[in-house]
Amino acid sequence: MTELEMPASVFDQMVAQARAAAPIESCGILAGGDNRIEQLYEMTNIDKSPIHFAMDPAEQFAVVKKMRAAGLKMLAIYHSHPLTPARLSEEDQRLALTPDVAYLVLSLKDAENPYAKVFVVDRAQARQVPLTIVKG
Ligand SMILES: [Zn+2]
C-alpha cells in the first residue's frame, strides 16, 4: 500500500467516536476498494485503556463477515491517541501483525485540530504512507 484516500465524512465519524471515548483510546476498521476508504466500522476497545487498545475478536469476526458481504476489503486498522501525537508506539508496532493492512493513528493531542497518520509495518519497520482527505 502506497497511499490512502479517506472521505471527510469518514474522518469526521472517526473523530466523533474518538472524542466520545476519550480519555480511553477508540479503535476500528476501515474498509474499501483499492486505496480508497469507503466504510468505517467502530470497534470496542476491550482494554478500556488510555494508552492501549485491543479489539474484541468476536466483534472483529462479525465485521469481517459484513465487509465481505459488502464486497469491501480491510484497508486499515485505526486507533486514537487521546493525549499523544499520531505515531506508532513501540507496542503498536509490535502488535501490528495483520498482513497487508495499514495502521492509522488519530491524534487528539491538539483538541481543536485532530489529525491522522497512516503507517505500513513490514518486518518490524514502520513506514508512513500519505493520507488524503477527500470530499464526500
Ligand atoms: Zn497507539
Give me ligand 1 centre to Cα 96, in Å. Answer: 10
Give the distance, in angstroms, between the CA of residue 95 and the centroid of all CA atoms in the same chain. 13
The count of other CB atoms within 10 Å of the CB of residue 20 is 10
Q: Are 117 and 86 a contacting pair, CB within 8 Å?
A: yes
Residue 126, pLDDT > 80, answer: yes
Please report the pLDDT score of residue 62 as a whole number. 97
Could you tell me if 82 and 95 are in contact, meaning their C-beta atoms sit under 8 angstroms apart? no
User: Beta-carbon neighbour count of residue 14 at 10 Å?
Assistant: 24
In this prediction, residue 100 carries a pLDDT of 86
Beta bridge partners of 120: 127
pLDDT, tens digit, 9 for 90 and up, residues 1-47: 889 999 999 999 999 999 999 999 999 999 999 999 999 999 999 99
Q: What is the distance in A from the centroid of ligand 1 to the CA of 62?
A: 23
- Contacts of residue 82, defined as CB under 8 A and 6 or more positions apart, other chains included, come to 18, 21, 22, 23, 24, 25, 50, 108
136 pLDDT above the threshold of 80: yes
Distance 106 CA to ligand 1 centre (A): 9
Grid coordinates in use for 108?
487528539
Q: Higher-confidence residue: 35 or 124?
A: 35
Residue 92, C-alpha cell as written in the block: 503498536
Architecture of domain 4-134: 3-Layer(aba) Sandwich (3.40)
Q: Looking at residue 1, what is its pLDDT?
A: 84
Q: Does the global pTM surpass 0.85?
A: yes
Distance CA 130, CA 1 (A): 10
The answer to whether 27 and 45 have CB atoms below 8 angstroms apart is yes
**CB atoms near residue 25 (< 10 Å):** 24
Cα 26 to middle of ligand 1, angstroms: 10
Q: What is the DSSP letter of 84?
A: S
